[in-house]
Amino acid sequence: MFFLISGLALGAVQGILFPLSLWWLCTLIFTVAILSFYAYRAHSYEALIIALFLFGCALGSWRGEAVRTPAPLTFPFNTPTFFNARVTAPPDERESFTYLTVLPEGERSRVRVRAPLYPTYHYGDLLMLSGTLTQPEPFLTEQGTLFNYPAYLARNSIVAEMTVKEIELMEPASRSLLGALYSFVDVLRTNIMSVISEPAAALGSGMLLGDSASLGKDLSDIFRRVGISHIVVLSGYNVTIVSEFLLRAFSYFLPLVRFSAASGGIFLFVLATGASASSLRAALMALALLLARATGREHDAFRALLIAFGTMVLINPLSLTADPGFQLSVIATAGLIFLSTPIEVRLKRFIPSRFIRELVATTLAAQCAVLPFIVHLSGAVSVYALPLNVLVLPLVPLTMALTALSAFLVFILPVLALPSAFIATLLLNFIILCARFVERLPFATVSVPALGTSVTLALYALGGLALYWRYHARSTP
């Protein structure tokens, strides 16, 4: 499986970055390798490994080519124009405006529209838009690194941007499952805002619903600089918390009922909160865990990660090259799988408490794994990220639970939500206070030279070889 997924990833990168098609050549060599495997009585497993690798390359190259060049729009750029378009994603509300992802009628690619905050629009609305289309361009980040903004948008089939001059609702959204889920999330967000004060409400909404944009730029930047931005976005950690809750909620049911209810709940939650690549990766891994428990088989976390990674790359190859959130999620998960146990063993003599030791080990494993990639992306390192994560992460499950309880109690009677909302507000404000305090400390963020792509890949390759050597040496008598 590892060789198949490796070939899929390499083929996808080739298909996205280079115009030369290799999928047909890989398919031919794959066929020859398979025939040679079955041509001899003593099967050559080296030929089978090569065949699987080449099959992955062919499949990845084909999918990469399919998404490399999105369908162009028929509307002119840099010229005033107007068209009707359907909203195809939940509105992304910012402090002073809203981003709408729309699909113009008769087109196959999407447009990202910058619209006023009010009036509000919803998933599925048909709008008449008037404005000027522009092509997205790469830009330099605050740290001086070049961000491939067109590729980042293209992963969602967005090929143009528009700042609207006029916008009119032509037809409200019709009923659909996704529309109902998004509307329910909007109601939950409103309930949270009604019983929890700002900025705690924005943080609670981000942790529970993936609504990180509502934090505002200043607070979002603080969380990013101190290394805890992953608790705000809907990452694998948040999905894992929801998965464990669902597993415990249905623990007394029959295995088939437990598997169906828990897996359905996980994917409804991920869909309702926007279905980001990192949350989908976590959902697929949670599904593998549920399936293993339902069938009584041993769960292999690395195999589940490979399956989730391969599925995501096959569905959307651009996640591999243009989605930093997905890349960080996969790297951090791999770090947890391979590094947390060795680190915990070495911490036994220094930290007697098992709970604190596991927390420090998992945090340190994830931080070590993503460090080269973060330096590659931003050229900045948070000095206090480890102690701050150790302090904050134990509060996240309880905070999410209290925020969710408060939001649901508002449906029954708002006054019932006040006790849980009060405790949630205290915890949320404590997290914000810790982030602001750490951000003011000397050397809270240290700027370092950003790593190039080749250096970053080389570091991870060396780390992978070191892990392989370590595990191979232990398994060899």
Question: How large a percentage of the chain has pLDDT more than 90?
Answer: 9
Q: Model's pTM, two decimal places?
A: 0.80
Tokens 């993936």 found at: 210
| pLDDT(430) > 90 | yes
| pLDDT(178) > 90 | no
pLDDT number for residue 357: 82
pLDDT number for residue 3: 66
Residue range 32-45, pLDDT digits in tens: 666 665 665 445 66
pLDDT number for residue 23: 61
Rounded CA-CA distance 187/209 in Å is: 11
Mean pLDDT of 16-44: 63
At 383, list the tokens: 């000095």
pLDDT number for residue 216: 72
Q: Where are the alpha helices (DSSP H) in 40-176?
A: 45-68, 149-154
Q: For residue 245, how many C-alpha atoms fall within 13 Å in the half-sphere facing its CB? A: 16
Residue range 356-415, pLDDT digits in tens: 788 788 888 888 888 888 888 777 778 888 888 888 888 888 888 899 899 999 988 888
Least confident stretch, 218-227, 261-270, 291-300, 360-369: 291-300
Indicate the helix (H) or strand (E) that contains 98.
strand 98-104
pLDDT number for residue 376: 80
Q: Report yes or no: 116 and 106 within 8 Å, Cβ to Cβ.
A: no
Residue range 246-285, pLDDT digits in tens: 777 777 777 777 777 777 888 888 787 777 777 777 778 7
Question: For the chain, what are the domain ranges?
Answer: 2-68, 80-174, 190-475
Q: Report yes or no: 323 and 342 within 8 Å, Cβ to Cβ.
A: no
- The more confident residue out of 162 and 141 is 162
* Position 428 confidence tier, pLDDT thresholds 50, 70, 90: very high
* Position 426 confidence tier, pLDDT thresholds 50, 70, 90: very high
Sign for the CA dihedral angle at 373, 317, 302, 266 comes to positive
| pLDDT(418) > 70 | yes
pLDDT number for residue 427: 93
> How high does pLDDT run on average in the chain?
80
Rounded CA-CA distance 168/281 in Å is: 37
Q: Distances in Å between the alpha carbon of 107 and those of 70, 100, 151, 159?
A: 11, 16, 19, 11
- Residue 454 burial (10 A CB sphere; 0-12, 13-18, 19+): exposed
Tokens 């799988």 found at: 337
Residue range 440-473, pLDDT digits in tens: 888 777 777 777 778 888 888 888 788 777 766 5
Confirm or reject CATH 2.40.50.140 for domain 80-174, answering yes or no. yes
pLDDT number for residue 86: 92
- The more confident residue out of 406 and 313 is 406
pLDDT number for residue 111: 92
Mean pLDDT of 423-429: 93
| pLDDT(433) > 90 | yes
Mean pLDDT of 197-213: 81
At 367, list the tokens: 């931080």
Q: Distances in Å between the alpha carbon of 90 and those of 138, 158, 275?
A: 25, 15, 11
Which letter, b or e, does each residue of 110-120 get, where b requires 16 or more Cβ atoms within 10 Å of its Cβ? bbbbebeeeee
At 91, list the tokens: 């509105």
